[in-house]
Structures are given as C-alpha cells and as structure tokens.
Structure 1
Amino acid sequence: MNSSDPVVSPLRQRMLDDMRMRKLGAKTQTGYVRGVRRFAAFLGRSPDTASAEDLRRFQLDLVDQGATPATINSTLSALKFFFDVTLGQGELMAKVQSVRTPTRLPVVLSPEEVARLIAAAANIKHRTALAVAYGAGLRASEVCALKVGDVDSQRMVLRVEQGKGRKDRYALLPPVLLEQLRAWWRVAHAQGKMLPGGWLFPGLDPMDPLSPRQLNRAIHAAAEDARIDKRVSMHTLRKRLANPSGVRVMPLRS
C-alpha cells in the first residue's frame, strides 16, 4: 500500500478506485493511503491478512509511540475505510475505538493584535490575503483558491467555490476589504503578477495560486515580527470571538 511504489498492487488499486468512486478529496485519499501503509509496515505483511488482534496491537503501538489523538483517529479512519469498503470485512474494526481529543480553548486575538499581525506581513499580497481570511472569514485553502472573478463588487460578496465539504457559497465583502483588494489588484496588475481572470493571490508563477502552506508560513512570520505571544494560525483569524466586520456567509445559488 505504498503511494510511492512504481507498480501499484491490485489491492492498493482497488482501494484507490473505491476512494475515487466515492469522490473523496485528494487530501483524504492521501491520508487514507498513508494510514494503511503505516499499518502494513507495523504488520510486516499485506494488510488484508490482518486479524482483529493485529488491529488492537497496532492501536496500542500508536499510543506507545506517542502519536497524537488526531493522528490515531485519522489512521483508524483510514483502516475503517480499507477493511469496511475495500475488503468488506468491517467486523474486524468492531472493537477498535477512536480516542478522545482534548478540548482546548481557542486562541483569540484582539482587534489591535489582528491589526498588528496583518500590518507585519512581509508584502501587500500577504497582507491582503490575511485581511481576506479575517474580514471574510475564509479558510487558508479558500483564500488561495480565489480568482479575480470571484470578487463581486456590485453585490459586495466573495464567491467561494468548493469550500469545506466541497460546497459553494458566498461570503460578504466588507467595504474596507474591497478597498484593500483594489489596492492589491493595482499593484499586482502593474507588476504583471496577476493574469486576467487568474488567481487573486498568485504564487511565484502567476499560473499557480499561492499555496496554503505559503500562507501559513506568512502568518507565522508576521506573528513573530508583530511580537504576538500566542499560537497564531490561519484558523485563529476565523475563530475570533468578536466579529467587527459583521461577516455572514450564504449558500451559493444559481
């Protein structure tokens, strides 16, 4: 079940086909293959020969190795799919239970901290992208996937295609954010970094979008430069208690 194998085994191909038939996202498919591959490495033989006791020993090994609850649960989800869907042997997973994930209070930034964070970003592209995440309540992947045509200044909304749950929706666009987007557009257009109808936040190559990883690196660097002593992430911008921009989202209708 190795995703890097030059020759795909029939078993792995069947699992890939099962995931493709159910239109699982690319990240989910990668995670599932990784989880089954990890189990096969522990087992030392093909995973379709495993017993319920093998699964129990594997979960204990994950705990002993210090795997986080999130890692354990994602790995078990992969195995559940493999045994239930691909092998039709869901009964082997009957006694395998997910682990509880500790509940932590969310990191909350004050409006002053948000202003410092965005101002500390390295360039106008990163500042504008962070402002969109905060002002329109978008995830990193949603910000990076925006195209120029997704900005609707007539209705003051941003079109978000295939967001979480692969659903389309609109996010309201505050006037101050529209002005910042226009300022970014003027700079990017003058520098030839933004193609007509292209990505709103292009990467080094205008044909490619800024990646969520690059955006996460940008926010971490900005938090350090702004001397914000909190665990700041893109998720932090969305999970604020205060909502100064009055953000709402609406399902996308044709």
Structure 2
Amino acid sequence: MGNQLEALQQSFIEYLKIEKNASPLTVENYKKDIEVFGEFLNAEGLSITECEYSTIRIFLSRLYEAQLSRRTVSRKVSSLRSFFRFLDREEFIHSNPFVNVSLPKESRMIPEFFYEEEIKQLFTVSDLSDPLGQRNQAIIELLYGTGIRVSECTKIELGDIDFSLATLLVHGKGRKERYVPFGQFASRALSSYIERGRKQLAAKSSQQPANLFLNARGGPLTARGVRLILDKMVKEAALTVDIHPHKIRHSFATHLLNAGADLRSVQELLGHEHLSSTQVYTHVTKDRLRNVYMNSHPRANK
C-alpha cells in the first residue's frame, strides 16, 4: 500500500477512534478492508485520487471472482464507502467514487434459536453447591434473561447491577451504554453467585478484579471461557443441538416477539442501532401467526 494511502488510512483510523468511539474490532475490520483495496490499487497502478466509479466496479468484480459471500462484499463496500465519505469531507479527494455504488443485497440468514423446552434444560445442569456451578447458572440466566452479547457479559462489573430496580448497565458496541431489566430467576442466580461463589473464586486471586464473572483462578472470565461453559452445559443437558453464544440472544428476542413484545422494545433491549437488525427475528413470529391462523380459523382449513 502506497505511502499516500497509508497516511489517509491513519487519519481515518484516528477519526474512528476519537470521533466515532469505534471498538478495536471495528477499527481492525475497517483497516483490513482498506488494505485489501490498497492492494487492488497497487496491482492496477492507480493512486487513491485516481479512483473513479469504473475503478470501484472493477474492484467489486474481483471480489466476486474470489467467490466471497455477498455479506463479506457488503461489509467491504460499507467500510470503503465510510472511508471515502471521510476523505471527501476532509477534502483529501476531489470527488467520491462511491456515491453511486449500492450495497449488494444480502441473503438474510434465519437466526437459530432454542425452543423454550430446550432452553429450560440448560437451567437444570449446574451444580448450585459449587462456586463454578453458581457462576454458570448466573451466566445462563443473565444471557437468556437480558439478551446481552457475550462480549457485554464479560464486561459487567459489580457496580453495574442494581438489584433494587432489577436493571443492568450494559457496555455495548462502540462504547454505547444501555440499561436492561432482568427478572426474578436472573436476580436469584446473581445474588447467590455474588454472595457465595464469587467470593470463593475472588479469594484465589490477589488482583481482586471488579468484573462480575470470574474464572476458576479468580481472574476475569473471557468470552472464550463463556463459550466453553455453554458448550459444556449443552452436553450435560444431553441436547443434540449446536450452540453458539448468539443462539441464546436469538432465543431471547424470538421468545419475546412470540409472546407479543413489540419490535421497537426488543430493538432497545438488544441494543440494535437500526430496526432492520431486529426485523430479522420477525420471520419466527410470522410462522407462529400463520400456524395459529391455520389451526384456529374456521375457514383456513377443511
């Protein structure tokens, strides 16, 4: 990548960090996408200021030739569109070649979720007389009871929990914060873990971290640690389903909508910036409504 593009990329990265409060993962993704585009420009013998609409079309055709998914191409286009919008705003370029470039339509993946009977089994496997079992029970109750991401779960500190109001302060993506409520099951599991299990785990470390969830050595529990815990719980529940942390989040949203919650409320609970991100869950409620109609209306079936 040429020195000019490297300098412009660095300016953009600083803008993302300072003005947009972007997360390290988001910054890294932007950086990778810009570097891929830089390699393309080098191969074509072009500079960043020589980019035109036709240049972008050739770049997109190369991405499709590499058999990248529409989702991946869409992300790269979105990254570069933001990058060029920044360059245009700061007058580093004379015109923005991405103005007329549209995002490729993504094929929406239907989110996987647990049926209510399946997820109930996960609440029965933890040994509640053991500190790690108490921790694991608190994790599954909190993930399902609030719909928070695993990355958000591992950031929770003791001071983020308000038992009197039954609310949790969540530190979300892009340093955005939101409050989410939690129910009685999560409240009981959290109280039990904090009063008993966490104290025993914290005693194993001299650091005394503020994190809510600790590992077996008394240090902060990582996102990978949570995934391993969930995998183990699925096996102990004798479930023949695959699990990933987002599956519990998907279940949270799906079960709320099936019970009649409105889409805007679910959007706020999940911390989605755009309603379109939440609308992916409406397929489930549509299926449910159709089944209810077909089974209940006298003129739906013979």
TM-score scaled by length of structure 1? 0.78
* Structure 1 residues 24 and 157, CA gap change in structure 2 (3 angstroms): closer
Q: Which has the higher contact order (CA 8 A, sep 6+)?
A: 1
Give 1:5's aligned residue. Answer: none
Give 2:211's aligned residue. Answer: 199
Cα distance, 1:53 vs. partner?
Answer: 2.6
2:204, 2:93 → 1: CA distance? 51
Give 1:143's aligned residue. Answer: 153
The 5 A counterparts of 1:199-238 are 199-203=211-215, 206=218, 209-224=220-235, 226-238=237-249
Aligned-residue identity in percent: 21
Specify the SS of the correspondent of 2:68: coil
Give the CA RMSD over aligned residues. Answer: 3.3
Specify the SS of the correspondent of 2:180: strand
Give structure 2 stretches of 5+ with no counterpart: 270-302
Give 1:174's aligned residue. Answer: 183
Specify the SS of the correspondent of 1:158: strand
Give 1:40's aligned residue. Answer: 38
Specify the SS of the correspondent of 1:146: coil
1:66, 1:214 → 2: CA distance? 33
* Structure 1 residues 212 and 218, CA gap change in structure 2 (3 angstroms): same
Task: Answer with 1 or 2: which has the greater Rg.
Answer: 2
1:136, 1:17 → 2: CA distance? 33
Number of positions where the alignment pairs a residue of Structure 1 with one of Structure 2: 242
Cα distance, 1:93 vs. partner?
Answer: 0.9
* Structure 1 residues 67 and 119, CA gap change in structure 2 (3 angstroms): farther
**C-alpha deviations, 1:88-131, integer Å up to 9, x for none?**
45531133221111123332312231133355579433442222
2:151, 2:119 → 1: CA distance? 20
**C-alpha deviations, 1:11-41, integer Å up to 9, x for none?**
3322222323422412222111110011112
**C-alpha deviations, 1:37-57, integer Å up to 9, x for none?**
111123326761444333212
Cα distance, 1:176 vs. partner?
Answer: 1.9
1:203, 1:17 → 2: CA distance? 34
1:66, 1:227 → 2: CA distance? 38
